[in-house]
Amino acid sequence: MTDVTMDKIVSLSRRRGFVFPSSEIYGGMGSTYDYGHYGVLMKNNIRSLWFRAMVQERDDIVALDSAIILNPRVWEASGHVGGFTDPLVDCRTCKLRFRADQLDQSSCGRKPSKRPGETADCDLTDARQFNLMFKTQVGALEDESSTAYLRPETAQGIFVNFKNVLQLARRKPPFGIAQVGKSFRNEITPGNFLFRVREFEQMEMEFFVPPADAERWYRYWVDARFDWYLKYGVRESMLRKREHGEEERSHYSSGTTDIEYLYPIGWSELEGVANRGDFDLTQHTQHSGTKLEFVGEGDERYTPYVIEPAVSIERIFVAMLVDGYDEEVVAERDRTVLRLHPAVAPVKAAILPLIPKNGEMVEKARGLHEDLRKKHVVEYDDGGQIGRRYRRQDEIGTPFAFTVDDQTLEDDTVTVRDRDSLAQERLPIGGVAAWLEEALARPWRTPKA
Amino acid sequence: MTDVTMDKIVSLSRRRGFVFPSSEIYGGMGSTYDYGHYGVLMKNNIRSLWFRAMVQERDDIVALDSAIILNPRVWEASGHVGGFTDPLVDCRTCKLRFRADQLDQSSCGRKPSKRPGETADCDLTDARQFNLMFKTQVGALEDESSTAYLRPETAQGIFVNFKNVLQLARRKPPFGIAQVGKSFRNEITPGNFLFRVREFEQMEMEFFVPPADAERWYRYWVDARFDWYLKYGVRESMLRKREHGEEERSHYSSGTTDIEYLYPIGWSELEGVANRGDFDLTQHTQHSGTKLEFVGEGDERYTPYVIEPAVSIERIFVAMLVDGYDEEVVAERDRTVLRLHPAVAPVKAAILPLIPKNGEMVEKARGLHEDLRKKHVVEYDDGGQIGRRYRRQDEIGTPFAFTVDDQTLEDDTVTVRDRDSLAQERLPIGGVAAWLEEALARPWRTPKA
């Protein structure tokens, strides 16, 4: 079994242009990353598979896209202005700041050679609370009245639109509102690759239910989201559900379950599902003066409870890279392969002319490429010897490769090579599009142990 | 011909939940908007059609997704820290700020009843330059060293990754890098619905070419982008190309053409295509110390020129709503219809049981709905009388409606109604999926004058 370290994932990501440190030519921008071509394609797939499961395939969830810079009163009501903080201490000697609850992982700024935890030389202040929201000023005036925040989560944009959706989308509980978009947190100790980054893309869904049904829907969403990962090929042995103990939960939550993945750094949160009760709608009702409740027929009237499955694309991205990463020896050569689910793979198929200088082969391969890319992201690749091209496609997780060779010129068939099994078969070139359609629709299971 | 005013577009957008003012329950957030269900679906379509044309269907363009908060030195090099400004004046009396170049559109803050331009009572300071970038602080320290900016454009994230893409994606000019993502500008006088907003979603592509070929590629991209709008149904009579005069162009540009649309407020920029020369790569080479140039075989070595087609989803969104908006009288009843290209329409088809209380009709309609939504966003609608449902679907631009009626129960056929022509025909229910696939692939032209 391949030992998948974070270093291997970071290295492959960089080598193949999935993701790399941002602003590199300027020395980087602490724990910020830019996504290259394959990273963008893979993120697009993850986003659209989530959207498909949460919106397109359901009757009871609608989409929303709220602004990143909302009215700042939203964050007072939500409790973020007052309480979205980490405890920090200043060092009077080295002038750096540390998280008071992570001193054992910090090292002195004056003596960076010291090991984490050895901050004994530091002259630390008492801890004070540091707000994790990025602040900015909106408009021409630079004073308190113009202070605004970059949203630290997309959820609040949903809650403040609850009434709009009730009215405009003619909904009644149970129903949900789904949103995908960037959120920002001024993390003091970002790190661990894409794990804790200052800007990230959230996919959150707030599901509004009658209070009496909240527990049932909470369980439903924990299971539904868990199953979504299985559907897209993540190994069940690498997933677990972990229910938070009472002391670990947010004060408003009556139940939270993390779907955890066994990352190289250990079991960590992949997605969280929380029963948020009526906390959010009640807070916004109080602060805005607008009643956020459901009024049904007769004397039915209540503030719905909210079940929230929330995840970031980054955590799914890393989990799927880790889950897919494999190394093996084939015909006495090492091969690295990303065994991604075909729906997640950035490129669905490679089209390869065996001999790139052969005009007839190029013409056939180009024709096939033109045909296939009307529907899918496929890649024409004529760079280098065929074995090298196969290995490149393996590393970016391309599930199928169609090779145009000598025999193609005789009988108009091509070879299709399967990324996982390495099996090869021949297909009529005219049947490739239909074959690919069917192959991409097949259930897929990883051959990894 | 329908008189399409901005008010009508704003009103329809709100009524049907395409887009509405943000943070409404807190009194809004000046010129910021949230997108509802149909707005999200329509934006998703615009984004993916752009991506398809710019990346998926081409060999010479790769995708990128860079961070929103880049290393601040990026914005020094690009000239944004120094020069991305509007001239502002303060009023010593009413304490407000105005754009010095738009005083004729401003009115006194103490006397808001005064008409724009009547700022004579105001005691104005000299103009000073106000930077349009949103500032924030990254990390725990709140001083100059931690100042960072929200990107005012996605383009710079592309330029600073030029070398990465050259290496990782094995490219040589001519090639392009495409990016979609949010940008932010602290506009002093935002307004005109989605026209000038503080956060917006840009779709930019930087195309790197040998300097000698720049003029040719500039013309190529002006035409290619113009044709893209025609392909998705925008009327040619509402589009024009307007080349900037020398005095209007940015100092680094040797050619800029706006593709303009005849919005209700008049001809305005929809998309801009600029020949940026080697300005950006040269700036970043100087500021970063990293040579951003192309080194070919032999002694080939040059700094590529850049051709940039840049547009925001918001401007396309409004142009397509305006272009599609139509009112007509049908059978003595008014009807409002959004004649959107089927690829742009948020919902591809509605599935309607004629009599929502008829269990057999519901079952057939549900079955059809389940089948169609595997591939497309479709909508099951059983709310109200059939005419009302048709009108609702017309207003959100749904091109086709399949109705399950009495005859369906006899012969398993359904009625398909065409949004534009109102023609109805009957189809076997088993053939609807294939019929829809074919109908969505057909070229479409608006019947609007």
Of A68-82, A92-106, B168-182, minimum mean pLDDT range = A92-106
Q: How distant is the Cα of A61 from the closest Cα of chain B, in angstroms?
A: 9
More confident position, B112 or A264: A264
C-beta atoms of B164 and A40 within 8 A: no
Mean pLDDT of chain A: 92
Query: Using one digit for the tens of pLDDT, what is the confidence trace for B317-349?
Result: 999 999 999 999 988 889 999 999 999 999 999
Of B92-101, B330-339, B426-435, minimum mean pLDDT range = B92-101
DSSP run (H or E) holding A162:
helix A162-168
What integer pLDDT is reported at residue A423 of this predicted model?
96
Beta strand pairing status for B349-353 and B378-380?
Answer: parallel
What integer pLDDT is reported at residue B35 of this predicted model?
97
pLDDT of A73 over the 60 cut: yes
Nearest chain B residue to A38, by CA = B63
Identity of the residue in B57, B97, B138 whose CB atom sits nearest the CB atom of A373: B57
Query: Using one digit for the tens of pLDDT, what is the confidence trace for A298-331?
Result: 999 999 999 999 999 999 999 999 999 999 998 8
* Whole-number Å distance between alpha carbons of A240 and A20: 29
Q: Which of B65, B95, B370 best probes binding to A when mutated, by most A CB atoms within 10 angstroms?
A: B65
Which among A417, A358, A423 has a CA at the least distance from the CA of A393? A417
What integer pLDDT is reported at residue A117 of this predicted model?
59
Q: How distant is the Cα of B28 from the closest Cα of chain A, in angstroms?
A: 7
C-beta atoms of A40 and B65 within 8 A: yes
Q: How distant is the Cα of B331 from the closest Cα of chain A, in angstroms?
A: 27
C-beta atoms of A37 and B169 within 8 A: yes
What integer pLDDT is reported at residue A350 of this predicted model?
98
What integer pLDDT is reported at residue B190 of this predicted model?
78
C-beta atoms of A23 and B70 within 8 A: yes
Which among A34, A13, A4 has a CA at the least distance from the CA of A346? A13
pLDDT of A46 over the 80 cut: yes
Q: Which residues of chain B make contact with A71, given a CB cutoff of 8 A?
A: 22-23, 26-29
What integer pLDDT is reported at residue B93 of this predicted model?
79
Q: How distant is the Cα of B189 from the closest Cα of chain A, in angstroms?
A: 9
> What string of DSSP letters covers B226-259?
HHHHHHTT--GGGEEEEEPPTTTS-TT-SEEEEE
C-beta atoms of B43 and A26 within 8 A: no
Average pLDDT for residues A400-404, to the nearest whole number? 98
Q: Which residues of chain A make contact with B70, given a CB cutoff of 8 A?
A: 22-23, 29, 32
For chain B, percent of residues with pLDDT exceeding 70: 96
pLDDT of B42 over the 70 cut: yes
Q: Which residues of chain A make contact with B27, given a CB cutoff of 8 A?
A: 71
What integer pLDDT is reported at residue B115 of this predicted model?
59
Q: Give the pLDDT band (50/70/90) at residue A190.
A: confident
Q: Which residues of chain B make contact with A131, given a CB cutoff of 8 A?
A: none
Q: Which residues of chain B make contact with A433, given a CB cutoff of 8 A?
A: none
Nearest chain A residue to B96, by CA = A141
Nearest chain A residue to B189, by CA = A139
Query: Using one digit for the tens of pLDDT, what is the confidence trace for A102-148?
Result: 777 776 666 655 555 565 587 888 888 889 999 999 987 767 778 99
C-beta atoms of B71 and A26 within 8 A: yes
Q: In what order do the strands lie in the sheet with B255-263?
A: B61-64, B175-184, B199-209, B305-312, B266-277, B255-263, B239-243
Identity of the residue in A28, A44, A188 whose CB atom sits nearest the CB atom of B140: A188
What integer pLDDT is reported at residue A109 of this predicted model?
62
* Whole-number Å distance between alpha carbons of A404 and A420: 20
What integer pLDDT is reported at residue B30 of this predicted model?
83
Q: Give the pLDDT band (50/70/90) at residue A272.
A: very high
pLDDT of A339 over the 90 cut: yes
How many CB pairs lie under 8 A apart between chains A and B? 220
* Whole-number Å distance between alpha carbons of A209 and A176: 9
Q: Are A215 and A275 in contact (CB under 8 A)?
A: yes
pLDDT of B38 over the 60 cut: yes
Query: Using one digit for the tens of pLDDT, what is the confidence trace for A193-245?
Result: 898 899 999 999 999 999 999 999 999 999 999 999 999 999 999 999 999 99
Tokens of A390: 């196969």
Q: Which residues of chain A make contact with B29, given a CB cutoff of 8 A?
A: 67, 69-71, 148
Nearest chain B residue to A170, by CA = B383
Nearest chain B residue to A99, by CA = B140
Nearest chain B residue to A67, by CA = B34
C-beta atoms of A41 and B63 within 8 A: yes
For chain A, percent of residues with pLDDT exceeding 90: 77
C-beta atoms of B27 and A71 within 8 A: yes
The Cβ of residue B437 has, within 10 Å, a number of other Cβ atoms equal to: 12
C-beta atoms of B37 and A150 within 8 A: no
Identity of the residue in B34, B65, B380 whose CB atom sits nearest the CB atom of A65: B34
* Whole-number Å distance between alpha carbons of A415 and A432: 10
Q: Are B189 and B196 in contact (CB under 8 A)?
A: yes
Q: Give the pLDDT band (50/70/90) at residue B111.
A: low
Q: How distant is the Cα of A190 from the closest Cα of chain B, in angstroms?
A: 9
Nearest chain B residue to A73, by CA = B26
Q: Give the pLDDT band (50/70/90) at residue B189.
A: confident
> What string of DSSP letters covers B109-138?
SS-TTSPTT--TTS-BPPPEEEE-SPEEE-
* Whole-number Å distance between alpha carbons of A213 and A305: 9
Average pLDDT for residues A258-281, to the nearest whole number? 97
What integer pLDDT is reported at residue A162 of this predicted model?
96
* Whole-number Å distance between alpha carbons of B235 and B232: 9
Q: Give the pLDDT band (50/70/90) at residue B380.
A: very high
What integer pLDDT is reported at residue A97 of this predicted model?
77
Average pLDDT for residues B386-394, to the nearest whole number? 95
Tokens of A166: 């009730």
Q: Are B425 and B402 in contact (CB under 8 A)?
A: no
C-beta atoms of B64 and A290 within 8 A: no
